Structure formats: structure tokens, C-alpha cells
Amino acid sequence: MIQSAQLLKSTVQLKNASTSICRRFISQLPKSLNNEKLPATFRLKTGQTFKATSFGAPLKESISGEVVFTTSLVGYPESMSDPSYRGQILVFTQPLIGNYGVPAMDKDEFGLFKHFESDKIHVKGIIVTDYAKKYSHWNAVESLGEWCARNNVPALSGVDTRAIVTLLREQGSTLGEIIIGDAKPAKELEDPNKRNLVAEVSVKSKKIYNKGGDVKIALIDCGAKQNIIRCLAKRGAEVHLVPWNHDVTKDSTHYDGIFISNGPGNPSYCEETIMNLRKLLIRESSKPVPTPIFGICMGNLLLGAAAGFETYKLPYGNRGHNQPAINLLTNQCVITSQNHGFAIKDGEKDMVEGWEKYFVNANDGSNEGIRHKTLPFASVQYHPEAKAGPQDTEYLFEEYLDTVRESKKEYLRQKSKVSKKIYPQIQVGAEVNISNQKQISESA
């Protein structure tokens, strides 16, 4: 009994100490860069307006963009820094946003951001119901409002976001405008789907991650999330991040695999990428050992377009961490992370010879993936790397890299057979100077 009483007393003391520390921590939280709560208005192109309060950047001019919503409960730093949201105003259906703050821009062993999907915020603005100015998390270094203000991104609270979502679901995707304080409304709202957003977010020159990996992967950057690079690098691949319009068929580097990333906007503006992929598919289809190709999200749309599929705009898109997708090969249903407003037409009349449907969305029946029936070409519309979101389908990276490694072995075996046939006197792998090669060639 005495020991129990002492244990209870110690527990109470520890709890009181923890409470005191928490209170002291909260009292020392940094003040918002925008202390003044400015009145604001959120206006849809369809005419509806919503009164709100600004907690982000106090912009003197209104901003506009495509209004989209996410059903994600967590992961706002990852979502807001995702290049796929370029040019969009993001509405959160989760009522409370900001309670765990924003972490530091720390990097991992590959030089990738641990907690973000790029080096900056890509959304045009955010809309939430309740904003938690006071945050609490061991990893946080600033509030959501401070992060938005520092990146010149407007943020509104006090809005019935579920009413906005209902309108979007009933009327379809539309444009919207954020007006803070005395800012004047724009004469015309900006439609991000009328420009090449992929070119805006892609790298301008090649970058290499995990140099020395056992297989070389060309990752075509249409707006690649950091975690896609990480998922390849941590599984041993050397990742070559190349620009969106890079023609890998003309690259001097021999790649063991080709990967097409996610990205923002309308795929029809990526005509250069589609043409490059079409050339790639033709080249690889004729090889005895074709190079494995895989795509994610925008990568699914571009690979599909290159193969001959048509794409179309969804009524309001699929965005969130709780989207069910059915694997048509196994009839397994997986929960996926998604962020897209376009899809591939996959009706009976739309199918391309040699290709088949891979995944479909269990909610709306839209396409979630395609694959070639006999060649190692496939893609999915959702995000198997998640971040944030479920990891049900991260195994696709392992399957892809297993295929790449098997393909590389077969490629080297075929190359070895050719070398032995052309240079029978030379041991494969031995170093031979050019003059020796010439003499052997002439004698042959």
C-alpha cells in the first residue's frame, strides 16, 4: 500500500511538472508575423461569397486560382509544398488546421527535405474553418500563419469549408478569389489550367541523388515530390532528376529504368514530354530487353497520352489520403493518397491495343492506372509514396525496382553474348585500348 501511494504521488508530481512545462512552452510560442486579424472575403466565380478572417500574408492585391479541396486529416505542410497544387486555392475539409505547427526545413541523408515535398509553398492560398494559432509539437518551429506570411501566401479562417466542398461537388470545379482588407477584386480570375504549370515547377538541369546506386533511374521531373525521389534512393537506386522536356532517347547516359513523376495542371500542355515518351515507347518496344517505365499521377496521364489514350478533366478531382482504388489484377482494394484533377479515358472504345486497366477508383470509377500486357510499362494515378497518407501501395516501388534489376541483368547478359561474338579473343570485362580493338576488328 505504501509503495502504491508513493507511486501515485510520483505520478501526480510528474504530471504536474509536465503540465507546467507545457504551459511554459505555450506561453513562449512565437507571435504571428501578422498579429492583426484582417477581414477577408472568399469569392467563387459562380457567385457565392464567404466572409472570413486572414491569418496568412496580408496581401494588398487579391489572388485567384482554381479552387480544390482535400479530405486529408493531417499533412498540411506536405500538401501545401506539393508542386501538384501549383496555382490552386486549397480548401481543407478537416475543421481544425495548424495545431501541430510547421517543422524546420531539415534534410535527410539524400539531401531531401524530411517534412516537405519541395522547397516552398506551391498553393496560391488556403481556406480553413478553424485555425489553431497556438501550436504544440516537438518538431515545430513556427505556426502555420507565420509560414504562410513568410512565403507571401494568403490564408483564411472562419469559413464553412464543407459548404464550399458541397458546392464544388454539385457544380464542379471552379475558380475563386481571396480578397483581404481593402484589396480590389480582380477583373478576371486566373485559370492555372491555361498555362504550362509543369514547366514552372520542373528542374532546369539534371540533378543526381544517391550517386553510386546499383541501378540508374531517369526521373522525368514534372513536379516530383521529394518522397518519390526518396522511395527510389532508399531502395538503392541512383536517381537522375531530369527536366520535364528532357529527351532520354538522346541522353548519353544509359538508364536502367525510366520514371515519370507527378505534376500540376493540364497534361495537354506537356506536348514535348508526350512526344519524347512516344519515341521512347517505340524504341523500347522493339528492343529484346526493353527498359522498364513507370509513372505516377501526371506520369500516368503522360504515359497514357504517349501510348494513345485520351485524357479529360474530372468534375472536381480526387484529393485526399482516403481514396479507395481497386487492383483489377488481384481484385484487392487499397487506400491511397491522391491529388489530381484529370484522368485517362478507359472505356471499352477508349482502350489502346496492347494495354489494359490496372486500377480503378472505387468511389467514382475513374481510371487509377494502366499497364502494358506484355512489356514492363505501367503507371498509377494515385501516389504510392504517399507522404502524408497510407503506405498500402509503397510496394510498387519495390516491384518496379525488382523489374529494373532483372532487366539490367538480362541486358548485361545479352551485351556479353554480343561482345563474345564480335570479339571472341577478348575476355569480357577486360580493358582493351582502341588500337587493339581496331586490329581485332580488321582481322575478323
What residues have CB less than 8 Å from 70, skipping those under 6 apart? 79, 90, 91, 92, 93, 319, 320, 339
What residue ranges in 248-344 does DSSP mark as E strands?
257-260, 293-296, 311-327, 332-344
Q: How far is CA 162 from the centre of its chain?
A: 25
**How far is it, in rounded angstroms, from Cα 196 to Cα 183?**
28
Phi, psi at 128, each rounded to 5°: -130, 165
Question: Measured between alpha carbons, how far is residue 368 from residues 159, 176, 279, 375 in Å?
Answer: 32, 28, 24, 19
**How far is it, in rounded angstroms, from Cα 48 to Cα 111?**
44
Instruction: Name the 3-class secondary structure at 105.
Output: coil
DSSP β-ladder status, 367-372 and 130-131: unpaired
Asked if 229 and 189 touch (Cβ cutoff 8 Å), the reply is no
**How far is it, in rounded angstroms, from Cα 304 to Cα 286?**
19
Secondary structure string (H, E, C) spanning 280-300: HHHHHHCCCCCCCEEEECHHH
Q: Answer whether the bond into residue 388 is a cis peptide, omega within 30°.
A: yes
Among all residues, which ones are annotated catalytic?
Answer: 297, 383, 385
**How far is it, in rounded angstroms, from Cα 54 to Cα 357?**
45
Q: For 110, how many CA atoms within 13 A lie in the half-sphere containing its CB?
A: 26
Specify the residue for cell string 505501367: 378
Closest alpha carbon to 255 in 404, 400, 428, 371: 404
Using only the alpha carbons of the chain, give its radius of gyration. 26
Residue count of the chain, please give it: 444
Asked if 297 and 341 touch (Cβ cutoff 8 Å), the reply is no
DSSP β-ladder status, 155-157 and 125-127: parallel
**How far is it, in rounded angstroms, from Cα 386 to Cα 110?**
18
Closest alpha carbon to 101 in 71, 77, 124: 77
